[in-house]
Amino acid sequence: MAKRSLAALLENKVRPKNSMMELQPILSTLRRHKVILWLLMLEIALICAIVCNGVFLVAQRMQHMNMPSGIAEHELVQIQQAPIAPPPDRYARAREDLATLRQIPGVLAVGMSNQVPFGGSSSNGNVMLSPTQPHQTLSAAEYFGENLVQTLGLHLVAGRALRPDEYVDADVVIKALADGSDKGFPMPMLVSQALATRLWPQQNPLGKLVWLTPKASFRVVGVVATLARANAYRTATAQYSMIIPLHMGADKDQSYLLRTRPQDRQRVLAAAVAALRRIDPARVITHTRTYDQIRSDYFRDDHAMAGILVSVIAAVLLVTGLGIVGLASFWVAQRRKQIGIRRALGATRADILHYFQTENFLIVTFGIVLGMVLAYGLSLWLMAHYELPRLPLSYLPIGAIALWLIGQIAVLGPALRASHVPPVVATRSV
């Protein structure tokens, strides 16, 4: 009877303290295991820094890789060729080739271009807003070629597309410019929305003039929503594009573009190569590819980077989780006797479980605090060396939640094992 009331007394004394006051014994235990505590904190802090920045780098790559091209990507194929010797009339050859390609069953539109978005090899012009300007305003992609709006599937948001009668042979323009004449200028042109907004913010771009050389002026007759450059190095300038109505003629720097339904692409590509060979059996076809291939080739390094980062982050989290399991198991094994004594003094299984969970939470929290500072420092260093934007602050709480979760999951097993230590352990000598 007396014994029972003693137990009840003990229980009552311990119980109310449990919920709030458990931090005190945890902290004093941690103070006695400084090295393990510091190791765990350091590990959590490093993970916090690397994972926050790593996830941010991946997000950056994804954003870059998803850069819009503005064209009907899944419906396009490209054929590039190199004539052995220049044909007698390259304009006539291009017309003949295009007419033949148009006849291929399944072809919806045929065009020709000196470059394609993300194609790598680019042609750019220096844009000026007045003919006497000493320096260029900016550099923008110059798209030359046939039937580009329809073939690429560009979306016209203002004005009109280029008319067939507005096209001029490139040689005529080059000769006029070499003679110092401005005959035939201003020529009509299309610009991308991004370029129009940059050159004439808040104004209607239709009818505006730009100069690519002091003599060569162009009047904006239409605006396309999006058309990316062939070499989109920087996101800020990646969408500055112009379309100019020049016939370029057949040569190695031009390529034929065919629009077709996605499922017909391979068949159309094979038929097109065969048709071109029929016209001139001696020609060399240097490249045939679908637009999807062009895009994936261009972003291959970004893809590689994202792949490596994602695998490293996954491995970091796995290794850490396992590391916490290992250390917590060790800790539980070391303290079996203390756990037994606590159980004998009336602590419930839940109390023991919560003890280890709280301890883990505290350690991870200390680590996160240190880790945020590290993460931010690393971000500043990356900014200084690699033209990366600053780590958005929103990544820090997300990183913290992820680490708390991993810590809790990892400690659950050892903590459950600890809660199953029977009180009788207290009476045994090791």
Partner 1 sequence: MFAYYLDLALRSLKRNKLLTALMIVAIGFGVAASMITYSVFRAVSGNPIPDKSAQLFTPQIDSWGPQQSFNGDGEPPQALDYTDAMALMHAHAAKRQTLIYPVQMTVMPGGDRSLPINAYGIAAYGDFFPMFEVPFQYGRGWSGTEDQARAAVVVLSEAFNRKLFGGADSLGHEVNLGGHTYRVVGVIRHWNPQPRFYALFGGSDFGQPADFYMPFTRALDLHIGTAGNNSCRGKQTARGWDDYLQSNCVWINPWVELDTPAEVARYRNFLEGYAVEQQRAGRFNWPPNVRLRDVTQWLAYMHVVPPESRIALMVSLGFFVICLVNTVGLLLAKFMRRAGEIGVRRALGASRREIYFQFLIEAATVGLAGGLLGLLLTAVGVSGVGLLFEPQIARLAHVDLSLIALTLGVAIAATVIAAFYPTWRAAHVQPAWHLRTN
Question: What are the residues binding partner 1 (CB under 8 A)?
Answer: 35-36, 39-40, 42-43, 46-47, 49-50, 53-54, 57, 82-85, 134-135, 174-175, 177-178, 180, 213-215, 252, 282-284, 286, 297, 300-305, 307-309, 311-312, 315-316, 318-320, 322-323, 325-327, 329-331, 333-334, 382, 386, 430
Coil, strand or helix: which one is 141?
Answer: strand
| Smallest gap from residue 213 Cβ to partner 1 (A) | 5
| Smallest gap from residue 153 Cβ to partner 1 (A) | 28
Identity of the residue, 85 or 236, whose beta carbon is nearer to partner 1 in the bound complex: 85
| Smallest gap from residue 239 Cβ to partner 1 (A) | 20
| Smallest gap from residue 366 Cβ to partner 1 (A) | 15
Coil, strand or helix: which one is 285?
Answer: strand
CA 241, CA 224: separation in Å to the nearest integer?
Answer: 9
Tell me how many degrees the CA angle 304-308-312 measures, rounded to the nearest 5. 170
End-to-end distance of the chain based on CA atoms, in angstroms? 31
Identity of the residue, 152 or 170, whose beta carbon is nearer to partner 1 in the bound complex: 170
Residue type, 112: M
| Smallest gap from residue 186 Cβ to partner 1 (A) | 17
Identity of the residue, 4 or 386, whose beta carbon is nearer to partner 1 in the bound complex: 386
| Smallest gap from residue 360 Cβ to partner 1 (A) | 14
Residues with Cβ within 8 Å of 266's Cβ and at least 6 positions away in sequence, in order, are 290
Query: Can you read off the two tokens belonging to residue 394?
Result: 């929103």
Identity of the residue, 60 or 150, whose beta carbon is nearer to partner 1 in the bound complex: 60
Identity of the residue, 299 or 355, whose beta carbon is nearer to partner 1 in the bound complex: 299
Identity of the residue, 315 or 350, whose beta carbon is nearer to partner 1 in the bound complex: 315
Closest CA to 276 of 246, 255, 290: 255
Q: List, as one string, the DSSP characters of 260-283.
A: E-GGGHHHHHHHHHHHHHHH-TT-
CA 343, CA 426: separation in Å to the nearest integer?
Answer: 8
Cβ count within 10 A of residue 237:
16
